Amino acid sequence: MYRYDEFDRDFVAERVEQFRGQVGRRLSGELSEEEFRPLRLLNGLYLQLHAYMLRVVIPYGMLSSRQLRMLAQVARRYDRGYGHFTTRQNIQFNWPKLEEVPDLLADLATVEMHAIQGSGNSIRNVTADQFAGVAADEVEDPRVYAEIVRQWSTLHPEFTFLPRKFKIALTGAGHDRAAVRVHDIGLAMVEDAAGEAGFEVIVGGGLGRTPMIGKTIREFLAKRDLLSYLEAILRIYNQFGRRDNKYKARIKILVHELGAEKFTELVEAEWREIKDGTLELPAEEIERIEAYFADPPYETFEADDAGYLAMLAIDGAFRRWATSNLFPHKRPGYAIVNLSLKPLDGVPGDATAAQMEAAADLADRYGFGEIRITHEQNLVLPYVAQRDLHDLWRALDEIGFATPNIGQVTDIISCPGLDFCSLASARSIPVAQRIGRRFRDLDRQFDIGELHINISGCINACGHHHVGHIGLLGVDRKGEEYYQITLGGSADENASLGEIVGPAVSYDAVVDAIEAVIAAYLEHREPDEPFIETYRRLGAEPFKESVYGKESVHDAA
């Protein structure tokens, strides 16, 4: 993984001291809260319902065991002993004290971590495919470019006060796990006719109040042009993005209002001016970064491990976990292991300090000391030998990370909602927990198969409900919590936005409604057909009917 050199180290250390000064000036009253606000946001520090919240960035979701141990230590020392992994591959601490935040950041800096651009109208933490470097279907490892983009975007002098926040995601694989079509900029690695790898550039996707699927503005961008092209896009956005209305300020609105064609013209014209300048990426620099992401010292296996296959055959619980939580690895004899942070009655994405430490130890013992964070709010050990899987599974079970539900109905993505967030209209976490309880039976979950439920506590859509196969959006109806249901969303390479199927349902009725949706699926599915395919084949009607009854189908639209 990437390691800081002297320049990165100095930069982060100086940044910590700079922020210490800003906090000091806030505490002394020299800075007003209004003046301090953008400064703290630029350092990932929010003011929430009950306290400050610090979002520590995890570049492209990649951690060393040492870093994870430090996060555990931070959780103990500055928080209440736990952290919350987010849908953007970051971690949030909900209870730090303002005066302690500079020390917290100094602790993080000792393991090459920071909170820069965790929030604010800046280029946010760059995200990437959680299986980068190990997925079987990869053109190239996107982390190399994610790191290059991370450095370029860090305290960029021109783009730190944009009209609105700005999110960039990368994928190198055919199957998009990074949701590149619903980001401000998505970069998908592709090959040109000559077999040279580069990027498809997608701009203007996003969720929130006005969800949109991004537009491809360039089919192929050479690697050397990556930064100059990004700079051109950002320069157009910084100058022309709307600043008169917060809800119309994202780049998707600019792309939409100008039209993709006109927007592309502007970007290309700007790019022509700067493309052969100082931002050109030399092959030497790409190679230098590539070296950091070299494969770990794998053992060589010819085929699947016999002991593993034997355990699969005799141990049903292990088999269920293996079927649900493992993904195919590019190397024979290895597996990608998902650790579920969605146990029964848990808070999606929460992990205690003890769990983090235990996961770090397991990563050291079985997985070359590396951990990934997924945007589904789970953890991943990307390189585990099949030989070790049974032992690992037992160890994970002890720390509560072995729930066999990855990608299934109880692997719910949820924002913090009304329990933590001052903007919320309704609770999210308790809804996730109630759905989890209703579908706790593992056989039933397994039978339902792949199904993504996403819950947002308000229209800001932090739970990405628009791209859930089933999405729930909390709304406030005269002081009562209601939930609007959307169906058919998806964030992958076939990205689609969910459709609203009918009137919002009450807090009490929402779990029954989900069950009705699933009942319709079970009734109509063809053999081996996952939920999303059945939905795409049949459309909303049978699902509406199941939730709202026959009559409502016609007037609910």
Applying CB under 8 A, the residues found at the interface with other proteins are 5, 7-8, 10-11, 14-15, 17-18, 21-22, 35, 38-39, 121, 151-152, 154-162, 235-236, 238-240, 243, 254, 258, 262, 265-266, 273, 277-279, 285
Among other proteins, ligand SF4, none, partner that 417 touches (CB below 5 to 8 angstroms by kind): ligand SF4
Minimum distance, C-beta of residue 252 to other proteins, in the bound complex (Å):
14
User: Which of 184-192, 429-437, 451-459, 509-517 is the region at the interface with ligand SF4 (rule: CB under 6 A)?
Assistant: 451-459
Nearest approach in angstroms of CB 19 to other proteins is: 10
CB of 64 to other proteins, least distance (A): 22
Among 149, 173, 424, 511, binds ligand SF4 (CB under 6 A): 424
Nearer to ligand SF4, 463 or 542 (CB): 463
Confirm if 393 and 318 have CB atoms less than 8 A apart.
Answer: yes
467 forms part of the interface with ligand SF4 (CB under 6 A) = no
Residues in contact with ligand SF4, counted by CB under 6 A, come to a total of: 13
d(CA 299, CA 305): 12
Q: Which is closer to other proteins, CB of 291 or CB of 309?
A: 291
Distances (CA, A) of 329 to 48, 395, 396: 40, 21, 20
Q: How far apart are CA 295 and CA 141, in angstroms?
A: 11
Q: Give 184's contacts (C-beta < 8 A, 6+ positions apart).
A: 166, 167, 168, 203, 204, 205, 206, 250, 251, 252
CB of 470 to ligand SF4, least distance (A): 16
Question: Which listed residue (249, 421, 511, 517) binds ligand SF4 by CB under 6 A?
Answer: 421
**Residue number, 99 or 285, with CB nearest to other proteins:** 285
Closer by beta carbon to ligand SF4, 253 or else 421: 421
Q: How far is the CB of 475 from ligand SF4 (least distance, A)?
A: 11
Residues forming beta bridges with residue 391, ordered by sequence position: none
Rounded to 5 degrees, what angle do the CA atoms 207, 417, 90 make? 65
Positive or negative torsion for Cα 28, 29, 31, 32: positive
- Print the SS3 string covering 195-257: CCEEEEEEECCECCCCCECCEEEEEEEEHHHHHHHHHHHHHHHHHHCCCCCHHHCCHHHHHHH
CA end-to-end span of the chain:
50
The distance of closest approach from Cβ of residue 415 to ligand SF4 in the complex, given in angstroms and rounded to an integer, is 3
461 binds, among ligand SF4, other proteins, none (CB under 5 to 8 A by kind): ligand SF4
The span from the CA of 208 to the CA of 466, in Å, is: 9
Instruction: Specify the pairing of strand 62-64 against strand 82-85.
Output: unpaired
Q: Which stretch binds ligand SF4 (CB under 6 A): 64-72, 103-111, 459-467, 517-525?
A: 459-467
* 235 contact choice in other proteins, ligand SF4, none (CB below 5 to 8 Å, kind-dependent): other proteins
Is 461 a binding residue for ligand SF4 by CB under 6 A? The answer is yes
Write out the two tokens for 336: 């990608």
Least CB distance to other proteins at residue 30 (A) = 8
- Residue 419 interaction partner, one of other proteins, ligand SF4, none, beta carbon < 5-8 Å per kind: none
CA dist 549 and 557 (Å) reads: 13
351's CB contacts (< 8 A; 6+ apart) are 82, 83, 84, 85, 341, 359, 379
Residue 230 corresponds to which tokens in the numbers above? 């990004």
C-beta of 378: minimal distance to other proteins in Å? 31
Cα–chain-centroid distance for residue 552?
36
| Least distance CB 423 / ligand SF4 (angstroms) | 4
| Whether 203 contacts 233, CB under 8 Å | yes
Which segments of 467-557 are extended strands (E)?
470-477, 480-487, 499-500, 505-506
Residue number with CB closer to other proteins (13 or 222): 13
Judged by beta carbon, residue 149 or residue 491, the one nearer ligand SF4 is: 491
In the DSSP assignment, the letter for residue 123 is B
If one asks whether residue 460 binds ligand SF4 (CB under 6 A), the answer comes out as: yes
Angle between helices 226-240 and 251-258 (to 10 degrees): 80
Answer yes or no whether residue 458 interacts with ligand SF4 by CB under 6 A. Answer: yes
Residue 156, contacted partner among other proteins, ligand SF4, none, CB below 5-8 A by kind: other proteins
Identified binder of ligand SF4 from the candidate list 312, 423, 522, 556, rule CB under 6 A? 423
Contact call for residue 462 and ligand SF4 (CB under 6 A): yes
Please report, as residue ranges, which positions from 14 to 73 form the binding site for ligand SF4 (by CB under 6 A).
none
Kindly state the smallest distance separating residue 15's Cβ from other proteins, in Å. 7
Q: Which is nearer to other proteins, 7 or 194 (CB)?
A: 7
Instruction: Establish if 206 lies at the interface with ligand SF4 (CB under 6 A).
Output: no
Instruction: Encode 107-139: b = buried (16+ Cβ within 10 Å), e = exposed.
Output: bbbebbbbbbbbbbbbbbbbbbbbbbbbbeebb
Radius of gyration of the chain (CA): 23
Q: Which one of other proteins, ligand SF4, none is in contact with 10 (Cβ closer than 5 to 8 A by kind)?
A: other proteins
Measure the CA angle with vertex 400, ends 394 and 405; round to 5°: 90
Binder of residue 456, out of ligand SF4, other proteins, none (CB less than 5 to 8 A by kind)? ligand SF4
Asked if 207 is part of the footprint of ligand SF4 (rule: CB under 6 A), the reply reads no
For residue 303, the tally of other CB atoms under 10 A from its CB is 9
Instruction: Name the residue nearer to other proteins (CB basis): 11 or 298.
Output: 11
If one asks whether residue 431 binds ligand SF4 (CB under 6 A), the answer comes out as: no
Between vectors from CA 142 to CA 139 and to CA 145, what angle results, nearest 5°? 130
Q: Say whether residue 416 binds ligand SF4 (CB under 6 A).
A: yes
Q: Which residue in the block uniquely carries the two structure tokens 């052969």?
A: 276
> What letters, b where the CB count within 10 A reaches 16 and e where it falls short, cover 337-366?
bbbbbbbeebbbbbbbbebbbbbbbbbbeb
Query: Under the criterion CB under 6 A, does residue 432 sit at the interface with ligand SF4?
Result: no
Residue 456, interface with ligand SF4 (CB under 6 A)? Answer: yes
Q: Which of residues 172-201 bind ligand SF4 (CB under 6 A)?
A: none
- Closest approach of Cβ 246 to other proteins, in Å? 11
Which residues are at the interface with ligand SF4 (CB under 6 A)?
Answer: 415-417, 421, 423-424, 456-458, 460-463
